[in-house]
Structure 1
């Protein structure tokens, strides 16, 4: 027997206002959540743009993961090297805040879900444009938060590269967010000043008995955000706080003991590094410079050069970071001088021995090469690098994202890229 479709006016149809019976929904709750997201998402967008700039994506085609960005890359600049904790702070804020806002975003979407089923779908051209922007807003928010969380967990189940997906998705989402904020912020501020709910399509015409107050619901959402904050933020610190980062892949687990006991993203085994490639008999660093001038250096040759030390952290796009580690090695600008760049060293292309994973080739700007703290590191915390930390030699540059601090370096080519 065929089942009769529900009428939109039926209380059992989601298209009927009577279907949505929660007494919590209303302009005041939606406005409070909206104001929190207005500030939080603005900070997320700005720190996301800064994080993208830190990759020096204009070093094409090596670092550029979004080759068709066009005018969306209008703000890009050579990433600075000071303060040395700049990327650590920016990415820590970006990831921690994004995870903390998840309960607020879900509560906001729950509070306005009846509007997604409003009939007719478009009462006018202006209303149709508002509904389209709402779909872009909701879809963009879910896409950005979901891909961001998956990236933090190193779970790349989505098709394509995370970088262009997240970059373009952010622009689409934020454009819809700005339109929505311009239209709704004045109304939201008026709603916050009201002490009672007035007639609104968000207010149920047939509310159920309340089991919690609206302020109680806000405390519940805030508690969820606080819980996520407390189980994420520790990945930016060392000591006891790091053990609280239960939701971060490089958080709660202790990395062991000894001078090299700090977090890594990829092990030597994962990257396909073989001991036969890195032993002192086999490994040579190839440095190429002006007019094809080339130097082939063993580790003993590098140790014979002037060695320098710098205290620098490792900070990755997933939000985790370490405190300053003591690195010792040869300055990048001294390697540039070996192949003809005695003054004003240029950009450099760095190539790794690794066989698997992204950023097997990465480029650094001239200002990063020239910084006296930028090293081809041979030691960390007074000991040789371990295989997992990049033995026999790795790049370490102040304020750079972790993936640009190339491990298992095999070749460096100085010159305009």
Structure 2
């Protein structure tokens, strides 16, 4: 990476140095409240292993910048992370009747803009964003986008008011607690874990035209944090339906050549080994009620009491990505996959499982979640950086209408 630095008003914007900046960057993270607030709840992110850049290092190209005060006593007072990837921004339908093909663009993502409370309203956030966008352009990015809470007025003012971003999409973050008991899977549903090659083939053949689909899906699925891809199908429940097992699974090509009436798929990502969450602001009464629910759940697991895990100390979670399916029973099969993911998260010692889907995602009804822990409308803002496109029919993606589904890359969570 190229070191970038400018000094103005005693503030230096430069590339993060892992040998000397970890403590300072962590201090800024600790001082900045992160996550959804309201109704007395607050999620805080805690990076693990003293590695502030760990949340972007799994991307194909990434950069972290810090803002440092000048003078004899140097202090890190701000930071920003950014990464780049190639994703689907639309599709083209051939005239010969063949299936639509994806149109790709080089996309940049801004993650984790932080400025110390004592140094806000000094233009540091704007300087960090401007420097990061310069790097994006140098790398050939055509668009840049960021995600924030819809009630984060300061962030929205900065990006839409001063940096030229426009409100683009409003996906939903859905969060389900991991209970002290295992969830029962629905009757006559088979869940298979796909081999890496089968998972990649399925995603490329059925979801490659989905908005934000990463062209390097093989790198995502093969990442050490990806815990597997799982397929759910009806298991011999109707006339003529064959029982599907790992023993008679013939691969994705055979499956898609003669698919069942309904099926669903999702993949699982281990965020627990990257950072932790923490809920703050809950009263003693709520803490006591949560603790009591866990006691009863452990004592009488067969009752299936929806207990509240201990979310008031740092906890890990698993992220569900690549949620998709087909057929009239797909939502029920997604519910089964979510139950399977919940049980895996319980074995992994997680506090919640979470996913993010388009606000109009048809399969959303099959994703169990607690409204109090979820966010009905996250906000994604986008900016067009470049004018050149690999295909002249793409147009300006930042002005396009939303589709029914999006692919949320777990590397950016």
- Report the structure number with the largest CA radius of gyration: 1
* Structure (1/2) with the larger helix percentage: 1
Q: State the TM-score, normalizing by the size of structure 2.
A: 0.22
* Structure (1/2) with the larger strand percentage: 2
Q: State the TM-score, normalizing by the size of structure 1.
A: 0.22
